[in-house]
Amino acid sequence: MSENYKIAVIGSGPSGMSAGGRAAERGVSHVVLERSDHLSDTIYKYQKGKHVMATPEVLPLRSSMTFGAAKRETVLETWNKEAQGHKVNVRFNAQVTGITGAKGRFDILINNKETITAESIVMAIGLQGNLRKLEIEGADWDRVQYQLDDPEEYEDERIVVVGAGDAGIENAIALAKQNRVVIINRQGEFARVKDANKALIEAAIEKGEIECFYSATPARLTPGALVLDVPQGQATVQCDRIIARLGAIPPRAFVERAGIVFPSKSQEALPELSPQYESNVPGLYVIGALGGYPLIKQAMNQGYEVIEFILGNNIKPADEPLLERKFGALLQRYTVDQVIDLFREKVPLLSGLTALQLREFLIDGTVHLKAPGEIVFERNDYTTSLYMIVEGNVNVHVDPNDFSVVRSLKAGQFFGELGMIAGRRRTASITAADQCLLIESPARTMIKLINSVESVRRAVNDEGMARQIRAYLSHEIKEADLAGLIKGADRRSFKAETVFFNEGDESDGVYLITQGSITVSRNVAGKNIVLAYVPAGHYVGEMGVVGNAPRDATIRAAIDSKAIFIPKPAFLDLIEKLPSLRRRMEEEWLRRLAHKAKMTARPEAGSIIQFLIEQGAGEATDMLLIDESLCIRCNNCEIACAETHGGTSRLDREAGPTVANVHVPTSCRHCEDPHCMTECPPDAIHRSPNGEVFIDSTCIGCGNCERNCPYGVIHMAEKEPAKPGLLSWMLFGMGSGPGQDKARKKDKKDGSEGPKLAVKCDMCKDQKSGPACVASCPTGAAFRVSPEAFFSGHLTR
């Protein structure tokens, strides 16, 4: 007679264990089947001491187990204790090898020999799957391992790390501190890894701390020597130990054998689930990473909820109170579920999402109820979110000079994608035309959605192109003409430094720059002279097209850029129909001619543009520059920065290059698409509506932003103790004075070191007097400008 349970949970990770805990708490007969000999294998295999995060912060935890951001060891210990405390029935070393039967009686085959039965099954096996093993001759050597618990366990060994993914890189770097490490990369470069890891490994290889074999694959192994196939033939690497990080075989095949259907063949496809996490096989539930919810907190909540659902208790999801708070006044008319249905029904962009996906999407978003005439955002705001209209209409104020010129958008449409994509200031103001209901989604969430849902990507792209053409060329273009333009137009991407077209090329069309920025240069007396800098939101190449002449300048991407290309016939056709556009083009043309003459006569101005582009001006929104002909090197800017920011200066005046009296100190450029933001685990880096990029108090000190910043303007610093007042220092010599940071350590009572957090320039966004560095410069040498303003104003003044 085999064992029989009401619920069998497969996997003891955060979701499975939480399900087991809830089942135990509710006194339901249950079993948790775990393949390994310990709980939560994925987290168990994290590197020793790794900080486990508890995101999203806003989401409440609802589980019989507790969890909070902590070290790996603490998290595991808590779960082990609690699992014992709740008397969770866990069977270790029990790998499920087959599932048959149906709701009410599933037969579960364990380790291919024993069968147990359960009325319902909760599949919580995660995505880790089975680790891929080295499949070469001699791979059974006892010093081949597939995980690394504690890098400090090894010392003075020659260790070969096979696999150049994130796990392999992290292991290699940790091991290199006290071992000689060789990393084997199957490819010619480090692709498909986190930017921060790429930077770390490349720096370590450059410095000779780690040796790397590129385009190499292991061929065979004898104890102490690994033979590699390399492009030149074969190479032998002596080694004391091999750590192979080759990824895992996804568990999809196993899941499919149980009868669960995936909607597509794509690797990223997720099984379709009901709001109660039930799969297409009744009685078979899927939770956690396998169901598309990789975050620990979400997974634990689902573990709790799935048990309640199986017991027939239709509880509200844990995010319900969050959504209730978001929906606010809407709940007078609808329930949360009805609101979600309404959104799906009214907004085409969201109709392809499942209820679960939409809930998750909405947790990051904001729901706005706007009264007629109320402003949604204003031209030149520095916000990057996207809005969707659920009910009502909004007015787009397209003309910067005349607020009454409006274009109307109705329910189901979206707006704000120009700012979201270009990362630049809003190009129009938006007001509510009548009572309207809007969903605002932060750029980060929206971009994730665009990348993962094809229908969303296409919708944003097509509609976006129409809007961009109108915004950058003319708002007077008629709907019918627009369709023709879009048909002929295409989107083109350019890597930094690549050429759009060369001086003398045939003029085949016009480029609207949608992202990034470009330089215009000309060959004058054998020298390449930069004439102008043009940021996203402008067009180039129209002169040759309208004038029917070859290109008279070279256009080069200053940074990675994107543009819409409109072919010559379509463009000529358009200006034929729109005399106002033609006049504006002529006007712009004449202005550029005058500018060109000025710049040609002043080649040094062109070399300053070139120099600043090299210093990141192409992606900067605001740079701190110093006019060295006025700078008395008093360092008051740095001292002011430190004094207004907890004792640590965010700028280094002296460092950084100089050309013709223009000095670029090491200080934040507030990039359009900030590199620092890309891999911030707690999402602590933001851009304020005025454009300042700043780090909020949720920084965990991981250092990713410091590594990702190409300009070296972020560093990790400890908070300094407060100083005595200025007069008590001046008159009585108490404590340390402005800028005397070294002495300040003494002010601290125990001299201990606190945690280090990332600090960067926030442009003194909370200071009335504006950036302290500029306000405190006695001679006016320090100034902050946007590259556009600098190139068109300061430089030629």
Partner 1 sequence: MQESVLVYRNFLYLKVSAAAAGASLFAYVWHTPLGQPNGGTWLGYTLGVVSLGIVIWLAWYGIRKRRYGVGRARLEDWLSAHVYLGLALVVIATLHAGFQVGWNVHTLAYVLMLLVIASGAFGIYTYVRIPGLITANRAGLTLEQIMALIAELHEDCRKVAVTLGDEINELVQRSAEESHIGGNVWQQLSGRDPLCPTAEALVRVRAIARDLPQAQSENGRKLVLLLARQSELLGQARRDVRFKALIDVWLFVHVPMTLALLAALAAHVVSVFFYW
With respect to partner 1, which residue has the nearer C-beta, 199 or 630? 630
Give the binding range for partner 1 (CB under 8 A) out of 65-73, 239-247, 315-323, 769-777: 769-777
Looking at residue 155, what DSSP letter applies? -
User: Could you tell me how many residues of this chain bind partner 1 (CB under 8 A)?
Assistant: 42
Q: Least distance from C-beta 22 to partner 1, angstroms?
A: 53
With respect to partner 1, which residue has the nearer C-beta, 388 or 772? 772
Among 395, 636, 667, 786, binds partner 1 (CB under 8 A): 636
Give the binding range for partner 1 (CB under 8 A) out of 67-75, 170-178, 326-334, 649-657: 649-657
One-character DSSP codes across 528-559? EEEEEEEETT-EESHHHHHHT----SEEEESS
Provide the total of helices (H) and of strands (E) in the chain, helices listed first: 23, 43
With respect to partner 1, which residue has the nearer C-beta, 400 or 780? 780
Amino acid at 691: G
- Residue 779 in contact with partner 1, rule: CB under 8 A: yes
Instruction: At 492, give phi and psi (nearest 5°).
Output: -125, 145
Among 25, 209, 399, 627, binds partner 1 (CB under 8 A): 627
Q: Least distance from C-beta 769 to partner 1, angstroms?
A: 6
Helix%, strand%, coil% for the chain, nearest 5: 35, 25, 45
Sheet of 658-659, strands arranged across: 658-659, 662-663, 623-627, 782-785
With respect to partner 1, which residue has the nearer C-beta, 253 or 727? 727
Q: Least distance from C-beta 627 to partner 1, angstroms?
A: 4
- Per CB under 8 A, contacts with partner 1 among 586-605 are none
Amino acid at 772: A
Calpha distance 678→684 (Å, rounded) = 11
Q: Name, in order, each residue with C-beta under 8 angstroms of 562's C-beta and a sequence gap of 6 or more.
A: 491, 492, 493, 494, 513, 514, 515, 516
With respect to partner 1, which residue has the nearer C-beta, 84 or 769? 769
Give the binding range for partner 1 (CB under 8 A) out of 439-447, 455-463, 755-763, 766-774: 766-774
Tokens of 157: 């060994």
Radius of gyration of the chain (CA): 30
Residue whose C-alpha is closest to residue 663's, from 560, 562, 500, 781: 781
Among 182, 543, 759, 764, binds partner 1 (CB under 8 A): 764
- Per CB under 8 A, contacts with partner 1 among 681-740 are 726-727, 730, 737-738
Give the binding range for partner 1 (CB under 8 A) out of 422-430, 444-452, 554-562, 768-776: 768-776
With respect to partner 1, which residue has the nearer C-beta, 675 or 765? 765
With respect to partner 1, which residue has the nearer C-beta, 315 or 785? 785
Q: Least distance from C-beta 600 to partner 1, angstroms?
A: 20
One-character DSSP codes across 113-130? TEEEEEEEEEE---S--E
One-character DSSP codes across 578-593? -HHHHHHHHHHHHHHH
With respect to partner 1, which residue has the nearer C-beta, 356 or 631? 631
Among 630, 700, 716, 734, binds partner 1 (CB under 8 A): 630
What Cα–Cα distance (Å) separates residue 250 from each residue in 256, 266, 754? 11, 12, 42
Among 182, 270, 290, 662, binds partner 1 (CB under 8 A): 662
Tokens of 74: 């603490």
Give the binding range for partner 1 (CB under 8 A) out of 341-349, 352-360, 407-415, 652-660: 652-660
3-state class of 182 per DSSP? strand
- Per CB under 8 A, contacts with partner 1 among 407-426 are none
Give the binding range for partner 1 (CB under 8 A) out of 242-250, 326-334, 631-639, 711-719: 631-639
- Residue 664 in contact with partner 1, rule: CB under 8 A: no
Number of Cβ within 10 Å of residue 495's Cβ equals 10
Instruction: At 627, give phi and psi (nearest 5°).
Output: -85, 105
Among 108, 204, 536, 772, binds partner 1 (CB under 8 A): 772
Amino acid at 183: I
Calpha distance 436→80 (Å, rounded) = 51
Among 639, 664, 676, 709, binds partner 1 (CB under 8 A): 639
Tokens of 646: 């907890």
Q: In whole angstroms, what separates CA 315 from the centre of its chain?
A: 33
Give the binding range for partner 1 (CB under 8 A) out of 352-360, 397-405, 535-543, 770-778: 770-778
Q: Least distance from C-beta 661 to partner 1, angstroms?
A: 6
Calpha distance 645→759 (Å, rounded) = 9
- Residue 741 in contact with partner 1, rule: CB under 8 A: no
- Residue 654 in contact with partner 1, rule: CB under 8 A: yes
Q: Least distance from C-beta 634 to partner 1, angstroms?
A: 8
With respect to partner 1, which residue has the nearer C-beta, 22 or 663? 663
Amino acid at 428: A
Tokens of 131: 């680790």
Among 137, 195, 780, 789, binds partner 1 (CB under 8 A): 780
Instruction: At 154, give phi and psi (nearest 5°).
Output: -110, 140
Give the containing element (helix H, strand E) for 166.
helix 166-176
Give the interface with partner 1 as residue ranges (CB under 8 A): 627-634, 636, 639-640, 643-644, 654-655, 657-658, 661-663, 726-727, 730, 737-738, 764, 767-769, 772, 774-781, 783, 794-795, 797
